[in-house]
Structure 1
Amino acid sequence: MSINMKNIAIRSAKNSDLPKLAKFLQVLVDAERPFDPTLKTGEIFYYDIQELILDQKTEVLVVDYNSEVIGCGYAQIREANEYEQHEVFGYLGFMFVDEEFRGKGISNLLLNDLKKWILNQGINEVRLQVYDENESAVRAYEKAGFKKLTTMMRCNIG
């Protein structure tokens, strides 16, 4: 599918976007299930999307294509650990682009706008979490300038 990038607009999310964002979240959860055997079955809501939209320390953006929401992500100001050099950092989450629009540079546009919002808050440290086995996402984030910092490991001993 070829798309006209002139028809792409990135804007702040509104309450009217909530039904679409809730669907995106479930698609994201389903995509992450193969990477995380600890996820419960059924619908999972990692966070309250409406609360994120209302939060002064969070910017939720959506990607519109011809007035249809096709992607989203958020940036959030978070407190750093007391032993880190920075007091706060920008955290990125809920990064999603509808499958038929992937591989066209849309996620990079979204990432850039989220980074700009974080910079406008006077913050230059940006972090996110991604499943290590989600190789395509890891490559995309590395291409956008991110580097691996830690690896969380788990073990079921029961």
Structure 2
Amino acid sequence: MAITVRPAKPADAEALGRMGGALVRQHHAFDPERFMLPDDVESGYRWWLGKELRAKEAVVLVAERDGELIGYVYGRIEERDWATLRDRCGGFHDIWVEESARGLGAGRLLAEALVRRFAELGVPRVILMSATKNEGAHRFFAKLGWRSTMVEMTRELPGPEER
């Protein structure tokens, strides 16, 4: 029942779409105005991560136990961005572990594998964003040595009929 982490491959697309869809739904439930929930989110995520599998600046890893995918992590190298005052870094974009596999260490294995891969690719730091209401993720990342550096704030604008 050991958990292994490996690079994702095209054959993982169906599971990646399902898990990515669950991640989108979780965020949408946190704040439906901020986080999108498109129709057929699974096929959209399957397309997105499938495309990222082929991108040299992207990293998509999966956690597997007994031949079953139980989680994934996704990040990509981000170049210097003057608008966000951010130098070149590894952007840690997604992590998901299936509910039935939580607490077994898959999340830690995935996160640390992504960080190692970014180090191999020569980036000086890894940056992530976490939904404000996702307090479990905040605790998880703090245990792994992450620190808070920014707070995103959102303000909805009136529609044209309200202006």
Hey, what does 2:19 align to over in structure 1?
A: 24
The offset of 1:155, in angstroms, is 2.1
Q: Which residue of 2 aligns with 1:127?
A: 127
Displacement of 1:85: 7.2
CA distance in 2, matches of 1:116, 1:67: 23
Give the direction of change, closer, same or farther, for the CA distance of 1:85–1:151 in structure 2 (3 Å limit): closer
Letter in 2 for 1:97: V
Amino acid at match of 2:110: L
TM, length-normalised to structure 2: 0.85
Question: How far 1:104 sits from its partner (Å)?
Answer: 2.1
Q: Where does residue 35 of structure 1 map in the other structure? A: 30
Quote the Cα distance in structure 2 between the aligned partners of 1:89 and 1:41: 29
State the 1:157 CA deviation: 4.2
Corresponding position of 2:71: 71
Q: 1:42 to 1:82 in 2, by over 3 A?
A: closer
CA, structure 1 residues 137+143, in 2 after alignment: closer, same or farther (shift >3 Å)? same
1:36 deviates by 2.0
* 1:50 paired residue number: 50
CA contact (8 A) 1:75 1:117 kept: no
Percent identity, aligned pairs only, is 26
Q: From 7, 11, 20, give the equivalent of 2:6.
A: 11
Q: Which amino acid aligns with 1:29?
A: V
Preserved CA contact (<8 Å) 2:25 2:37:
no
Q: How does 1:104-143 map to 2 (within 5 A)?
A: 104-143=104-143
- Corresponding residue for 1:59? 59
* 1:100 maps to 2:100: yes
Q: Secondary structure at the match of 1:48?
A: helix
Q: TM-score, normalised by structure 1?
A: 0.87
Letter of the 1:42 partner, please give it.
Answer: D
How many equivalent pairs are there?
A: 152
2:105 is matched by which residue type in structure 1? G
CA distance in 2, matches of 1:17, 1:137: 24
Gapped regions of structure 2 (runs ≥ 5): 159-163
Q: Tell me, which stretches of 5 or more residues in structure 1 are unaligned?
A: none
Alignment partners' CA distance in 2, 1:132 and 1:74? 20
CA distance in 1, matches of 2:64, 2:94: 16
Aligned-pair Cα RMSD in Å: 1.8
